Amino acid sequence: MNDHSHPVRRAARQPDQATGGRFTTALAHPNIALVKYWGKADPTLNVPAVPSVSITLDALVTETRVRFDGSLAADSISLNGEELPFASGQARRISACLDALRSQAHTQLRARVETRNDFPTGAGLASSASGFAALVVAAAAALQLELSPTAASKIARAASASAARSLFGGFAELPAGRAGEDVAALSLAAAEHWPLEVAVAICAEGPKAVGSTRGMIDSAATSPFYGTWVETAAADAAAARTAISQRDFAALAAVSEASCLKMHAVMQTTCPALLYWNAATMATLERIRSLQQAGTEVFFTMDAGPQVKAVCTPGACREVAEALESVPGVSRVLTSGLGGPARLVGSSCV
Ligand code: DP6
Protein backbone atom coordinates (compact mmCIF):
# COMPACT_ATOMS: atom_id res chain seq x y z
CA MET A 1 0.00 0.00 0.00
CA ASN A 2 1.26 3.48 -0.75
CA ASP A 3 0.85 6.57 1.43
CA HIS A 4 -2.45 7.37 -0.26
CA SER A 5 -3.97 4.23 1.21
CA HIS A 6 -3.60 5.70 4.68
CA PRO A 7 -4.54 9.34 4.34
CA VAL A 8 -4.98 10.03 8.04
CA ARG A 9 -2.46 7.73 9.69
CA ARG A 10 -0.32 9.75 12.13
CA ALA A 11 1.37 9.08 15.44
CA ALA A 12 -1.05 9.44 18.36
CA ARG A 13 -0.52 12.42 20.67
CA GLN A 14 -2.62 14.29 23.19
CA PRO A 15 -5.12 16.39 21.20
CA ASP A 16 -4.50 19.52 23.27
CA GLN A 17 -0.83 19.37 22.29
CA ALA A 18 -1.74 18.65 18.70
CA THR A 19 -3.07 22.01 17.61
CA GLY A 20 0.03 24.13 18.18
CA GLY A 21 -1.66 27.04 16.36
CA ARG A 22 -1.03 25.38 13.01
CA PHE A 23 -3.45 24.67 10.21
CA THR A 24 -3.57 21.15 8.83
CA THR A 25 -4.56 21.01 5.16
CA ALA A 26 -6.13 18.22 3.10
CA LEU A 27 -7.30 17.88 -0.48
CA ALA A 28 -10.17 15.75 -1.76
CA HIS A 29 -11.84 15.28 -5.11
CA PRO A 30 -15.54 14.98 -5.81
CA ASN A 31 -16.78 11.65 -7.02
CA ILE A 32 -19.56 10.88 -9.45
CA ALA A 33 -21.80 7.90 -8.86
CA LEU A 34 -22.35 5.59 -11.82
CA VAL A 35 -24.72 3.43 -9.77
CA LYS A 36 -26.55 6.01 -7.70
CA TYR A 37 -27.17 6.48 -3.99
CA TRP A 38 -30.68 7.89 -3.42
CA GLY A 39 -32.42 6.87 -0.21
CA LYS A 40 -31.56 6.21 3.42
CA ALA A 41 -32.05 3.06 5.49
CA ASP A 42 -31.38 5.17 8.59
CA PRO A 43 -31.81 8.93 8.19
CA THR A 44 -30.36 9.65 11.66
CA LEU A 45 -27.09 7.74 11.15
CA ASN A 46 -27.20 8.48 7.40
CA VAL A 47 -26.99 4.87 6.28
CA PRO A 48 -27.73 4.37 2.55
CA ALA A 49 -30.63 2.12 1.53
CA VAL A 50 -28.92 1.22 -1.78
CA PRO A 51 -25.34 0.44 -2.80
CA SER A 52 -23.55 2.96 -4.99
CA VAL A 53 -20.51 2.76 -7.25
CA SER A 54 -18.49 5.86 -8.13
CA ILE A 55 -15.50 7.33 -9.90
CA THR A 56 -13.33 10.00 -8.27
CA LEU A 57 -12.34 12.97 -10.47
CA ASP A 58 -8.87 14.48 -10.35
CA ALA A 59 -9.49 17.88 -11.99
CA LEU A 60 -11.93 19.22 -9.38
CA VAL A 61 -10.49 19.91 -5.95
CA THR A 62 -11.66 20.89 -2.47
CA GLU A 63 -8.91 22.21 -0.21
CA THR A 64 -9.76 22.35 3.49
CA ARG A 65 -7.60 23.53 6.36
CA VAL A 66 -8.40 23.05 10.03
CA ARG A 67 -6.91 24.40 13.24
CA PHE A 68 -8.16 23.42 16.71
CA ASP A 69 -7.83 26.38 19.02
CA GLY A 70 -8.40 26.59 22.79
CA SER A 71 -9.36 30.28 22.52
CA LEU A 72 -12.40 29.58 20.28
CA ALA A 73 -15.83 29.39 21.94
CA ALA A 74 -17.42 27.87 18.81
CA ASP A 75 -16.38 26.42 15.49
CA SER A 76 -15.85 29.11 12.86
CA ILE A 77 -16.05 28.16 9.21
CA SER A 78 -15.42 29.88 5.92
CA LEU A 79 -16.56 28.42 2.58
CA ASN A 80 -15.03 29.85 -0.58
CA GLY A 81 -13.83 32.92 1.39
CA GLU A 82 -17.20 33.71 3.02
CA GLU A 83 -17.97 33.11 6.69
CA LEU A 84 -20.81 30.65 7.24
CA PRO A 85 -23.38 32.16 9.64
CA PHE A 86 -23.16 30.60 13.11
CA ALA A 87 -25.75 27.77 13.45
CA SER A 88 -26.66 27.85 9.74
CA GLY A 89 -27.53 24.45 8.28
CA GLN A 90 -24.13 24.02 6.66
CA ALA A 91 -22.26 25.15 9.79
CA ARG A 92 -24.21 22.75 12.00
CA ARG A 93 -23.51 19.87 9.63
CA ILE A 94 -19.78 20.62 9.67
CA SER A 95 -19.73 20.99 13.47
CA ALA A 96 -21.55 17.65 13.84
CA CYS A 97 -18.84 16.00 11.75
CA LEU A 98 -16.16 17.67 13.89
CA ASP A 99 -18.02 16.46 17.02
CA ALA A 100 -17.60 12.85 15.86
CA LEU A 101 -13.85 13.39 15.58
CA ARG A 102 -13.66 15.36 18.87
CA SER A 103 -15.41 12.54 20.64
CA GLN A 104 -12.85 10.01 19.35
CA ALA A 105 -10.01 12.36 20.34
CA HIS A 106 -11.55 13.06 23.79
CA THR A 107 -11.36 16.82 23.33
CA GLN A 108 -13.76 19.75 23.41
CA LEU A 109 -11.52 22.09 21.39
CA ARG A 110 -13.35 24.16 18.78
CA ALA A 111 -11.94 24.58 15.30
CA ARG A 112 -11.30 27.16 12.64
CA VAL A 113 -12.15 25.59 9.26
CA GLU A 114 -11.39 27.18 5.89
CA THR A 115 -12.60 25.31 2.84
CA ARG A 116 -12.52 26.21 -0.80
CA ASN A 117 -13.77 24.51 -3.98
CA ASP A 118 -12.28 25.24 -7.41
CA PHE A 119 -15.66 24.34 -9.00
CA PRO A 120 -19.34 25.39 -8.48
CA THR A 121 -20.59 24.62 -4.95
CA GLY A 122 -23.97 22.95 -4.32
CA ALA A 123 -24.79 22.63 -8.01
CA GLY A 124 -24.83 18.87 -8.49
CA LEU A 125 -21.04 18.60 -8.73
CA ALA A 126 -20.63 16.67 -5.49
CA SER A 127 -19.11 19.50 -3.46
CA SER A 128 -20.43 17.94 -0.25
CA ALA A 129 -18.60 14.69 -1.10
CA SER A 130 -15.18 16.28 -1.54
CA GLY A 131 -15.90 18.81 1.23
CA PHE A 132 -16.58 16.28 3.98
CA ALA A 133 -13.83 13.93 2.81
CA ALA A 134 -11.27 16.76 3.01
CA LEU A 135 -12.68 17.92 6.35
CA VAL A 136 -12.39 14.47 7.96
CA VAL A 137 -8.82 13.97 6.72
CA ALA A 138 -7.66 17.45 7.78
CA ALA A 139 -9.43 17.49 11.15
CA ALA A 140 -8.41 13.93 12.08
CA ALA A 141 -4.78 14.80 11.39
CA ALA A 142 -5.07 18.08 13.31
CA LEU A 143 -6.31 16.05 16.29
CA GLN A 144 -3.52 13.49 15.81
CA LEU A 145 -6.17 10.77 15.43
CA GLU A 146 -4.96 7.60 13.83
CA LEU A 147 -7.86 6.62 11.56
CA SER A 148 -7.87 3.94 8.90
CA PRO A 149 -9.44 4.94 5.56
CA THR A 150 -12.42 2.77 6.56
CA ALA A 151 -12.86 4.58 9.88
CA ALA A 152 -12.50 7.96 8.15
CA SER A 153 -15.02 6.87 5.50
CA LYS A 154 -17.61 6.00 8.19
CA ILE A 155 -17.31 9.47 9.75
CA ALA A 156 -17.59 11.11 6.33
CA ARG A 157 -20.65 8.95 5.51
CA ALA A 158 -22.47 10.10 8.63
CA ALA A 159 -22.02 13.69 7.39
CA SER A 160 -22.85 13.04 3.72
CA ALA A 161 -22.95 9.52 2.36
CA SER A 162 -21.36 10.32 -1.00
CA ALA A 163 -18.37 11.75 0.93
CA ALA A 164 -17.57 8.23 2.17
CA ARG A 165 -16.59 7.37 -1.43
CA SER A 166 -14.26 10.39 -1.87
CA LEU A 167 -11.89 8.95 0.74
CA PHE A 168 -10.87 6.58 -2.06
CA GLY A 169 -9.52 7.29 -5.52
CA GLY A 170 -10.38 5.59 -8.81
CA PHE A 171 -13.45 3.37 -8.46
CA ALA A 172 -15.22 3.05 -5.09
CA GLU A 173 -18.33 1.41 -3.70
CA LEU A 174 -20.48 2.36 -0.73
CA PRO A 175 -22.58 -0.69 0.23
CA ALA A 176 -26.16 -0.42 1.41
CA GLY A 177 -26.70 -0.80 5.13
CA ARG A 178 -29.47 -1.49 7.60
CA ALA A 179 -30.72 0.86 10.30
CA GLY A 180 -28.01 1.23 12.93
CA GLU A 181 -25.23 -0.23 10.75
CA ASP A 182 -22.04 1.84 10.42
CA VAL A 183 -21.09 1.22 6.76
CA ALA A 184 -17.94 2.50 5.01
CA ALA A 185 -16.98 2.77 1.37
CA LEU A 186 -14.28 0.56 -0.11
CA SER A 187 -11.93 0.78 -3.06
CA LEU A 188 -12.90 -1.29 -6.12
CA ALA A 189 -9.90 -0.33 -8.27
CA ALA A 190 -7.29 2.42 -8.51
CA ALA A 191 -7.54 5.01 -11.29
CA GLU A 192 -4.71 3.30 -13.20
CA HIS A 193 -6.81 0.14 -13.58
CA TRP A 194 -8.96 1.91 -16.21
CA PRO A 195 -8.19 5.60 -16.72
CA LEU A 196 -11.63 6.71 -17.90
CA GLU A 197 -12.16 10.39 -18.66
CA VAL A 198 -15.09 12.68 -17.88
CA ALA A 199 -16.44 15.82 -19.56
CA VAL A 200 -18.83 17.80 -17.35
CA ALA A 201 -21.26 20.03 -19.26
CA ILE A 202 -22.25 22.95 -17.02
CA CYS A 203 -25.92 23.51 -17.84
CA ALA A 204 -26.59 26.09 -15.04
CA GLU A 205 -24.18 27.80 -12.64
CA GLY A 206 -26.47 28.47 -9.62
CA PRO A 207 -27.06 26.27 -6.57
CA LYS A 208 -29.70 23.57 -6.83
CA ALA A 209 -33.27 24.17 -5.61
CA VAL A 210 -33.65 21.11 -3.36
CA GLY A 211 -30.64 19.46 -1.73
CA SER A 212 -30.06 15.71 -1.91
CA THR A 213 -30.67 15.06 1.80
CA ARG A 214 -34.19 16.55 1.76
CA GLY A 215 -34.92 15.24 -1.73
CA MET A 216 -34.19 11.59 -1.01
CA ILE A 217 -36.21 11.59 2.21
CA ASP A 218 -39.17 12.99 0.26
CA SER A 219 -38.64 10.36 -2.47
CA ALA A 220 -38.77 7.49 0.03
CA ALA A 221 -41.98 8.89 1.49
CA THR A 222 -43.82 9.71 -1.73
CA SER A 223 -42.46 8.21 -4.98
CA PRO A 224 -44.47 5.17 -6.14
CA PHE A 225 -41.26 3.88 -7.79
CA TYR A 226 -39.07 4.05 -4.67
CA GLY A 227 -39.59 0.39 -3.69
CA THR A 228 -38.57 -0.86 -7.14
CA TRP A 229 -35.57 1.48 -7.07
CA VAL A 230 -34.32 -0.09 -3.84
CA GLU A 231 -35.09 -3.68 -4.94
CA THR A 232 -33.13 -3.38 -8.22
CA ALA A 233 -30.08 -1.52 -6.87
CA ALA A 234 -28.04 -4.55 -5.75
CA ALA A 235 -28.15 -6.04 -9.26
CA ASP A 236 -27.02 -2.71 -10.74
CA ALA A 237 -24.07 -2.49 -8.33
CA ALA A 238 -23.07 -6.08 -9.15
CA ALA A 239 -23.23 -5.36 -12.90
CA ALA A 240 -21.07 -2.25 -12.42
CA ARG A 241 -18.49 -4.15 -10.35
CA THR A 242 -18.18 -6.80 -13.07
CA ALA A 243 -17.97 -4.20 -15.86
CA ILE A 244 -15.22 -2.33 -13.99
CA SER A 245 -13.19 -5.44 -13.25
CA GLN A 246 -13.44 -6.53 -16.92
CA ARG A 247 -13.04 -2.97 -18.30
CA ASP A 248 -16.24 -3.59 -20.27
CA PHE A 249 -17.28 -0.09 -21.36
CA ALA A 250 -20.55 -1.09 -23.05
CA ALA A 251 -21.70 -2.93 -19.92
CA LEU A 252 -20.71 -0.04 -17.64
CA ALA A 253 -22.49 2.43 -19.95
CA ALA A 254 -25.69 0.37 -19.93
CA VAL A 255 -25.93 -0.02 -16.15
CA SER A 256 -24.83 3.57 -15.43
CA GLU A 257 -27.36 5.20 -17.75
CA ALA A 258 -30.08 2.86 -16.45
CA SER A 259 -29.28 3.67 -12.80
CA CYS A 260 -29.23 7.40 -13.52
CA LEU A 261 -32.53 7.38 -15.38
CA LYS A 262 -34.17 5.21 -12.71
CA MET A 263 -33.02 7.66 -10.01
CA HIS A 264 -34.38 10.61 -12.00
CA ALA A 265 -37.68 8.74 -12.51
CA VAL A 266 -37.90 8.43 -8.72
CA MET A 267 -37.00 12.12 -8.33
CA GLN A 268 -39.55 13.24 -10.89
CA THR A 269 -42.32 11.16 -9.25
CA THR A 270 -41.53 12.54 -5.78
CA CYS A 271 -44.07 14.90 -4.25
CA PRO A 272 -43.24 17.77 -4.64
CA ALA A 273 -41.49 16.76 -7.88
CA LEU A 274 -37.70 17.06 -8.06
CA LEU A 275 -37.06 18.36 -11.56
CA TYR A 276 -33.31 18.88 -11.79
CA TRP A 277 -32.98 18.94 -15.60
CA ASN A 278 -33.21 22.03 -17.77
CA ALA A 279 -33.34 22.47 -21.55
CA ALA A 280 -29.54 22.35 -21.82
CA THR A 281 -29.50 19.04 -19.89
CA MET A 282 -31.84 17.47 -22.45
CA ALA A 283 -29.94 18.94 -25.41
CA THR A 284 -26.69 17.53 -23.97
CA LEU A 285 -28.25 14.06 -23.64
CA GLU A 286 -29.32 14.22 -27.29
CA ARG A 287 -25.79 15.21 -28.34
CA ILE A 288 -24.37 12.27 -26.37
CA ARG A 289 -26.82 9.92 -28.09
CA SER A 290 -25.57 11.24 -31.49
CA LEU A 291 -21.96 10.67 -30.45
CA GLN A 292 -22.83 7.11 -29.39
CA GLN A 293 -24.56 6.44 -32.72
CA ALA A 294 -21.42 7.67 -34.49
CA GLY A 295 -19.34 5.12 -32.55
CA THR A 296 -17.82 7.26 -29.75
CA GLU A 297 -17.48 5.39 -26.47
CA VAL A 298 -19.30 7.75 -24.12
CA PHE A 299 -22.22 7.58 -21.68
CA PHE A 300 -24.05 10.11 -19.52
CA THR A 301 -24.92 10.47 -15.88
CA MET A 302 -26.59 13.28 -13.90
CA ASP A 303 -27.07 13.91 -10.19
CA ALA A 304 -29.19 16.32 -8.14
CA GLY A 305 -28.63 19.16 -10.55
CA PRO A 306 -28.73 19.99 -14.27
CA GLN A 307 -25.07 19.26 -15.10
CA VAL A 308 -24.39 16.31 -17.42
CA LYS A 309 -21.32 14.18 -16.83
CA ALA A 310 -20.15 12.41 -19.97
CA VAL A 311 -17.92 9.44 -19.12
CA CYS A 312 -15.67 8.26 -21.94
CA THR A 313 -12.90 5.82 -22.74
CA PRO A 314 -9.28 7.01 -22.40
CA GLY A 315 -8.50 9.43 -25.21
CA ALA A 316 -12.12 10.22 -26.22
CA CYS A 317 -12.62 13.16 -23.86
CA ARG A 318 -11.37 15.94 -26.14
CA GLU A 319 -13.78 15.02 -28.94
CA VAL A 320 -16.67 14.70 -26.47
CA ALA A 321 -15.87 18.02 -24.75
CA GLU A 322 -15.72 19.83 -28.11
CA ALA A 323 -19.08 18.36 -29.09
CA LEU A 324 -20.70 19.38 -25.78
CA GLU A 325 -19.29 22.94 -25.84
CA SER A 326 -21.51 23.81 -28.80
CA VAL A 327 -24.73 22.53 -27.20
CA PRO A 328 -27.17 25.45 -26.70
CA GLY A 329 -27.28 26.46 -23.01
CA VAL A 330 -24.02 24.78 -22.01
CA SER A 331 -21.92 27.56 -20.48
CA ARG A 332 -18.67 25.59 -20.29
CA VAL A 333 -17.29 22.07 -20.21
CA LEU A 334 -14.86 20.83 -17.55
CA THR A 335 -12.73 17.80 -18.29
CA SER A 336 -11.13 15.39 -15.88
CA GLY A 337 -9.35 12.12 -15.51
CA LEU A 338 -9.81 9.83 -12.53
CA GLY A 339 -8.17 11.00 -9.32
CA GLY A 340 -6.63 9.72 -6.15
CA PRO A 341 -7.96 9.52 -2.61
CA ALA A 342 -8.43 12.33 -0.10
CA ARG A 343 -5.04 13.19 1.36
CA LEU A 344 -3.08 15.43 3.66
CA VAL A 345 -0.93 18.06 2.01
CA GLY A 346 0.75 19.61 5.03
CA SER A 347 0.51 22.10 7.83
CA SER A 348 1.31 25.79 8.18
CA CYS A 349 1.15 28.61 10.74
CA VAL A 350 -0.80 31.08 8.58
C1 DP6 B 1 -27.63 12.25 -6.48
O2 DP6 B 1 -24.36 12.29 -0.42
O3 DP6 B 1 -25.27 14.55 -1.02
O4 DP6 B 1 -25.37 12.70 -5.93
O5 DP6 B 1 -25.98 11.66 2.42
O6 DP6 B 1 -27.88 13.27 2.45
O7 DP6 B 1 -25.53 14.12 2.26
P8 DP6 B 1 -26.49 12.99 1.95
O9 DP6 B 1 -26.64 12.96 0.36
P10 DP6 B 1 -25.53 13.11 -0.75
O11 DP6 B 1 -26.34 12.48 -2.00
C12 DP6 B 1 -25.78 12.29 -3.25
C13 DP6 B 1 -26.84 11.88 -4.19
C14 DP6 B 1 -26.43 11.83 -5.64
C15 DP6 B 1 -26.07 10.40 -6.06
C16 DP6 B 1 -24.75 9.88 -5.56
O17 DP6 B 1 -23.79 10.66 -5.41
O18 DP6 B 1 -24.66 8.66 -5.36
Does any ligand 1 atom lie closer than 6 A to the CB of residue 147?
no
For domain 3-190, the CATH architecture is: 2-Layer Sandwich (3.30)
Q: Which of 149, 241, 235 is nearest to 194 (CA)?
A: 241
* CATH superfamily entry for domain 197-336: GHMP kinase, C-terminal domain (3.30.70.890)
Does any ligand 1 atom lie closer than 6 A to the CB of residue 127?
no
Which residue's C-alpha comes closest to atom 11 of ligand 1?
Answer: 212
In the reported structure, the alpha carbon of residue 120 is separated from the centroid of ligand 1 by a whole-number distance in angstroms of 16
Domain residues of the chain, as ranges?
3-190, 197-336
Does any ligand 1 atom lie closer than 6 A to the CB of residue 97?
no
pTM: 0.93
Q: Which residues contact residue 339 at a Cβ distance below 8 angstroms, ignoring those fewer than 6 apart?
A: 29, 56, 57, 58, 59, 169, 170, 191
Q: Could you give the CA distance from residue 222 to residue 270 in angstroms, rounded to a whole number?
A: 5
DSSP labels for 165-226?
Answer: HHTS-SEEEE----TT-----EEEE-GGGS--EEEEEES--SPPSS-HHHHHHHHHHH-TTH
DSSP labels for 252-305?
Answer: HHHHHHHHHHHHHHHHHTSSS------HHHHHHHHHHHHHHHTT--EEEE--SS
Does any ligand 1 atom lie closer than 6 A to the CB of residue 132?
no
Spell out the per-residue pLDDT of the chain, length 350, in tens: 333 444 444 434 444 444 457 899 999 999 999 999 999 999 999 999 999 999 999 999 999 999 999 999 999 999 999 999 988 999 999 999 999 999 999 999 999 999 999 876 655 677 889 999 999 999 999 999 989 999 999 999 999 999 999 999 999 999 999 999 999 999 999 999 999 999 999 999 876 678 899 999 999 999 999 999 999 999 999 999 999 999 999 999 999 999 999 999 999 999 999 999 999 999 999 999 999 999 999 999 999 999 999 999 999 999 999 999 999 999 999 999 999 999 999 877 65
In the reported structure, the alpha carbon of residue 350 is separated from the centroid of ligand 1 by a whole-number distance in angstroms of 33
In the reported structure, the alpha carbon of residue 100 is separated from the centroid of ligand 1 by a whole-number distance in angstroms of 20
Q: What is the pLDDT of residue 200?
A: 95
Does any ligand 1 atom lie closer than 6 A to the CB of residue 128?
yes
Which residue's C-alpha comes closest to atom 18 of ligand 1?
Answer: 37
Does any ligand 1 atom lie closer than 6 A to the CB of residue 259?
no
Does any ligand 1 atom lie closer than 6 A to the CB of residue 130?
no
In ligand 1, which atom is closest to the CA atom of 31? 17
Does any ligand 1 atom lie closer than 6 A to the CB of residue 166?
no
